Amino acid sequence: MLKPRASIAGLAPYRSPIVSRDGLGLDLNESLAGCSPRVLARLRSLSAADVSRYPHRDLGEQMVANFLGIPSDQVLLTNGMDEALSLLFTAYLAEGDELLFADPTFVMYPILGAALSANVVRVQSGEDLALPVAGLLARISPRTRVIAIANPNNPTGLAASRPDLLKISEAAPHAAVLIDEAYFEFYGQTLLPDLASHPNLFIGRTFSKAYGLAGLRLGVLIGAAEQIGHLRRLSLPFNVNAVALACLEEALLDQAFVREHIAQVQQGRDQLSQLFNQLGLQFWPSQTNFVFVRVGASAKTFVESMQRLGILVRDFSASPACDGCVRITIGTPSQMNGVSQVIREAIAEARRS
């Protein structure tokens, strides 16, 4: 009888986090502002020939390299950050190798590691949910082949310092160290200048968040030219579709749109922070487009109340050290006043339950 590899058969089925599209979706960290009008105009201008021909990824990589001020051989475009993770993990993790990361973090890290029969090594964050630097350093071994760090982190929104991240990279020169900067634009700090002195360092970026292109699936993996060359051999030649590549240039050119969106997100973060202070709720200072808040034992009731009132948020109670915690994406300024009022109503209902 045909059977998959044991590591695949043993995986828990992955279920899409999309619960519903009915209501205001503040559960997936999408851009509620949408994408740049210039991107929409480019989409509308596409011809039959544009979509009937195979995509030319190299041109897109040159655009991104020019934007970042680095050589194009250090850039690999991917079908979203998920594919970037898959390529990196597949290239450096063999059966029995160790994948090291801190919990809680992005759910795909352990899933991909387990699929490759790697030993998944989790280091639990403390009560403050900050990156447990000492704990990670203590767990690095000769078998550690990949270290994955989301910075800022999802779901907490917290960011680790550059010295701490470099300390981890320098402690494991034999391992690929991924700094997943999916939320870089909202934070503004990067390890990009440190690539030249840290050949084992990789940086991941995405166009799904600040650029509002989640539906087009466009990610970027950046690293030493030699290492990116290895990953390029593994990457499928037409992995990034022609529509995404056609929109890439306009997305990069419209930095005014990105800056305005970031400013609106910062305003929304401040608004939620003030609200949670008023409500006496613990929350974490976010460097992303969402806020992570501890509602408590009534989190399930809170999430259900929010959905009934037309707003979707994400319950993280099942994640390590996140009991009673909920993640709420920042909406547009016109949406946030209504969101704040609904949160007040849902918290009041949850406290009565």
3-state secondary structure 168-194: HHHHCCCCEEEEECCCHHHHCCCCHHH
Looking at the structure, do residues 214 and 304 belong to the same domain, yes or no?
no
Residue found by looking up tokens 């700090």 in the block: 189
Q: Name the H helices within the chain.
A: 6-9, 37-45, 48-52, 57-68, 80-92, 108-115, 133-139, 162-171, 184-187, 225-234, 242-253, 255-279, 299-308, 333-352
Q: What is the CATH number of the domain that holds 223?
A: 3.40.640.10
Residue 239's Cβ-side half-sphere holds a number of Cα atoms within 13 Å equal to: 23
Residue 11 lies in a domain: no
* pLDDT value for 49: 96
292, two tokens: 């992570």
At residue 128 the predicted structure's pLDDT band, cuts being 50, 70 and 90, is very high
- Calculate mean pLDDT across residues 304-319: 95
At residue 158, does pLDDT exceed 80?
yes
237, two tokens: 């030649």
Pairing of β 201-206 and β 176-180: parallel
Q: What are phi and psi of 209, to 5 degrees?
A: -95, -85
Looking at the structure, do residues 100 and 162 belong to the same domain, yes or no?
yes
Looking at the structure, do residues 158 and 221 belong to the same domain, yes or no?
yes
Percent of the chain topping pLDDT 70 = 100
Last residue of a domain, one of 191, 226, 253: 253
At residue 19, does pLDDT exceed 80?
no
At residue 5, does pLDDT exceed 80?
yes
Roughly what angle, to the nearest 10 degrees, separates helices 255-279 and 333-352? 30
Last residue of a domain, one of 234, 253, 272: 253
Looking at the structure, do residues 22 and 50 belong to the same domain, yes or no?
no
Looking at the structure, do residues 186 and 327 belong to the same domain, yes or no?
no
Positive or negative torsion for Cα 288, 290, 291, 294: negative
213, two tokens: 């292109």
Q: Which amino acid is at 213?
A: L
At residue 12 the predicted structure's pLDDT band, cuts being 50, 70 and 90, is confident
At residue 14 the predicted structure's pLDDT band, cuts being 50, 70 and 90, is confident
Contact 88, 176 (CB under 8 A): yes
Distance CA 183, CA 171 (A): 25
At residue 174 the predicted structure's pLDDT band, cuts being 50, 70 and 90, is very high
Distance CA 191, CA 20 (A): 36
* pLDDT value for 22: 82
* pLDDT value for 143: 98
Question: pLDDT digit string (tens) for 46-95?
Answer: 999 999 999 999 999 999 999 999 999 999 999 999 999 999 999 999 99
- Calculate mean pLDDT across residues 22-35: 95
Q: What are phi and psi of 253, to 5 degrees?
A: -70, -30
Looking at the structure, do residues 76 and 98 belong to the same domain, yes or no?
yes
* pLDDT value for 282: 97
At residue 352, does pLDDT exceed 90?
no
* pLDDT value for 18: 73
Buried b (16+ CB within 10 A) or exposed e, 150-184: bbbbbbbbbbbeeebbbebbebbeebbbbbbbbbb
User: Domain limits at 292?
Assistant: 17-32+256-352
Contact 284, 353 (CB under 8 A): no
At residue 318 the predicted structure's pLDDT band, cuts being 50, 70 and 90, is very high
Contact 152, 105 (CB under 8 A): no
Residue found by looking up tokens 């940086």 in the block: 203
Residue 324 lies in a domain: yes
At residue 29, does pLDDT exceed 90?
yes
Residue 187 lies in a domain: yes
Looking at the structure, do residues 154 and 291 belong to the same domain, yes or no?
no
Last residue of a domain, one of 253, 274, 304: 253
Residue 195 lies in a domain: yes
* pLDDT value for 353: 74
Looking at the structure, do residues 313 and 240 belong to the same domain, yes or no?
no
Residue 10 lies in a domain: no
Q: What is the CATH number of the domain that holds 301?
A: 3.90.1150.10
- Calculate mean pLDDT across residues 124-129: 96
Looking at the structure, do residues 136 and 49 belong to the same domain, yes or no?
yes
Q: Give the number of residues written for the chain.
A: 353
Burial bucket for residue 49 (CB in 10 Å: 0-12, 13-18, 19+): exposed
- Calculate mean pLDDT across residues 192-216: 98
Looking at the structure, do residues 271 and 147 belong to the same domain, yes or no?
no
Residue 8 lies in a domain: no
Count of domains for the chain: 2
Looking at the structure, do residues 295 and 340 belong to the same domain, yes or no?
yes
At residue 272, does pLDDT exceed 90?
yes
Contact 254, 39 (CB under 8 A): yes
* pLDDT value for 241: 97
Contact 145, 99 (CB under 8 A): yes
Distance CA 142, CA 263 (A): 44
Percent of the chain topping pLDDT 90 = 93
Instruction: Dump the DSSP string for 313-348.
Output: -EE-TTSTT-TTEEEEE---HHHHHHHHHHHHHHHH
Distance CA 315, CA 304 (A): 10
Residue 9 lies in a domain: no
- Calculate mean pLDDT across residues 30-59: 97
Distance CA 148, CA 12 (A): 21
Residue 313 lies in a domain: yes
At residue 21 the predicted structure's pLDDT band, cuts being 50, 70 and 90, is confident
* pLDDT value for 11: 84
Looking at the structure, do residues 46 and 176 belong to the same domain, yes or no?
yes
